[in-house]
Amino acid sequence: MRVASVRVASVPAAHPYVRAVSAAEGVAVLADPVPDPAHPDRWWPPAMLDAEWIRRSADRFDVMHVHFGMESLPEGRLAAALDALDALGKPLVYTVHDLQNPQLDEQTGHRGDLDLLVPRAARLVTLTRAAADEVRRTWGRDALVLAHPTLLDDDDDEAVDADAHPDAGLDAPLVVGVHLRDLRPNIDAEGAVRALLQALDALASAGVAATGRVLLNATTRDEALARRLEASLRGRGDCHLVVRARPDDAALLAELDRLDVALLPYGHGTHSGWVELCYDRGVTVVGPGSLAMAGQHPDGYVGITAPDDAGRAVVEAVSRGARAGSPERRRLVAARRERRLAERAVVAEAHAALYREVLTEGRSR
C-alpha cells in the first residue's frame, strides 16, 4: 500500500544532502522558489523563509524543514516567518548543521538565528553526538542524531578518470593535500599551509617521503590572501600550489583519489560534507579535534589538539590509512560504499518518520 505523502517545504530543497535525506517513500519536497530569475539555479536567499510566502503557500505544504541559508535573509524576516508558521499551525523541523556558520566570520547574527529556531522547532535534528550535547547545554533541548548520509552512488567511480587510481608503489612519495576552495570565511588558509609544512617536516624526520599539495580555486573571495599563499610556498620543493578552475564533481573525486591524507583547513565550523566525501573515498582526514566534525567518522579522522600538533596527527594518519591507488584503498572504498548506501536509506526513513510524528502531534492538539 502506498504511503500518503508528507509535503515538505525544505530550506533549501535542491541541495544534495537534502535530496538524500528526503528520498524515502511518502516524502514530497517542494521545489525551491527562484529568488532571482537571472540566476535560476540559485536558491538563496531562501524565498520559503518569508511570512508572505508561507501564508500564500499554506495549502501546498504540511511541514517546514530548515537546514541552512538564514544568513542571507534581511533583518527580521526569519522571526516573521516563524510567527507565520505558528499562526497557521505548521510544524517546523530544524536540522542544526552549523553551531558556527562556515560562511561567516562574525557569529553574533547566526547565534541570534539559532536562538530563534532551536526553541521554536517542533523537532531538532543534528549530525553528531557532540553537537546534540551542545544543543542540550545551550538551549535545554534534545536533538535527534542522524548521520550525514553518503552523497555518492555506485556509478560515481565511472565518472573518475582511470588515471585517478594510480598504482602508488612502495617508493612513491605520499601526498598530503589541503583544499582551500574559494577561501570562504571559515577557511584558515595560512594556518592550514603552516600545518601542512609542519606535517611534511615531521614525515621527513620520520623517514617518510612525502609531498604537499595546496589546491585553490582560480576565483577566490580574497585575492590578496591567495598571493600571500603563493609567496609562502616559493622555494619549498616538497609542496606545490595548484590553482585551477573550480572542479566539477568528477574532477574533485579524481583529486581526492590522488591523496593519501587530507588536511582540513577549517578555523571554525561544526560539521563537514568534506569529511563525508573523504571517508567515502577512503582518504584519512586530519582536522581540528575540538569540532563536532571529528565525530562524524572517528575511524577515518585524526584530530589536531594543539597548534603544533599537525605533524604528529599526519604521521598517525599515514600509519592508519590506505595508500592512494592501492588495492587496499579500493577494497576499503567498496566496503564503505555498501554500508553507507544502506545507512542512507535508514536516515531517509528516519526523516519520513519524524515528519509523520510532528503531523500526528499537531492533529492531536
What is the percent of the chain with per-residue pLDDT over 70, rounded to a whole number?
95
Q: Confirm if 161 and 254 have CB atoms less than 8 A apart.
A: yes
Whether residue 98 is contained in a domain is answered as: yes
Shared domain for 20 and 129, answered yes or no, is yes
What pLDDT does residue 172 have? 86
What is the distance between the alpha carbons of residues 86 and 110, in angstroms, rounded to a whole number? Answer: 22
pLDDT at position 3 = 57
Cα–Cα separations (whole angstroms), residue 180 to 110, 221, 241: 23, 11, 10
* Cα(356)–Cα(77) distance, integer angstroms: 27
Q: For the segment 23-34, what is each residue's pLDDT rounded down to a tens digit? A: 999 999 999 998
pLDDT classification of 328: cutoffs 50, 70, 90: very high
Residues 111 and 14 in one domain: yes
Q: Which grid coordinates belong to 185?
A: 570565511
Q: Which helix (H) or strand (E) holds 28?
A: strand 27-29
pLDDT digits (tens, 9 = 90+) for 209-252: 999 999 999 999 999 999 999 999 998 999 999 999 999 999 99
Mean pLDDT confidence for 136-154? 96
**Residue 49 placed within a domain:** yes
Tens digits of per-residue pLDDT, 304-325?
999 899 999 999 999 999 999 9
Distance CA 328, CA 149 (A): 23
Output DSSP code: residue 354: H
Q: Looking at the predicted structure, is the pLDDT value of residue 157 above 90? A: no
Residues with Cβ within 8 Å of 71's Cβ and at least 6 positions away in sequence, in order, are 101, 103, 104, 109, 110, 113
Whether residue 194 is found in the same domain as residue 113: no
Instruction: Classify residue 348: in a domain, yes or no.
Output: no
> Each residue of 179-201: pLDDT tens digit?
999 999 999 999 999 999 999 99
Task: Tell me the pLDDT band of 164, cut-offs 50, 70 and 90.
Answer: very low
Supply the pLDDT for residue 169.
55
Confidence of residue 160 (pLDDT cuts 50, 70, 90): very low
My answer on whether 121 and 225 are in the same domain is no
Q: pLDDT, tens digit, for every residue of 91-133?
A: 999 999 999 999 999 999 999 999 999 999 999 999 999 999 9
What is the number of structural domains in the chain? 2
Q: What is the pLDDT of residue 161?
A: 40
Same domain, 312 and 168: yes
Same domain, yes or no: 92 and 188: no
Same domain, 267 and 226: yes
Asked if 134 and 161 sit in the same domain, the reply is no
Assign 37 a pLDDT band (cuts: 50, 70, 90).
confident
pLDDT of res. 39? 87
Same structural domain, 119 and 170: no
CATH number at residue 320: 3.40.50.2000
- What is the DSSP-derived secondary structure letter of residue 102? T
Q: Are residues 193 and 164 in the same domain?
A: yes
Torsion sign across C-alpha atoms 325, 278, 282, 177: positive
Residue 184 forms part of a structural domain: yes
Neighbours of 151 (CB within 10 A): 18
Q: For residue 267, which of 323, 189, 324 has the smallest C-alpha distance?
A: 189
The domain of 194 spans 154-328
Per-residue pLDDT band for 364 (boundaries 50, 70, 90) equals: low
Single pTM value for the model = 0.95
Same domain, residue pair 52 and 91: yes
Alpha carbon distance 61, 142 (integer Å): 25
Residues 101 and 179 in one domain: no
Q: Is residue 257 part of a domain?
A: yes
Domain membership of residue 346 (yes or no) is no
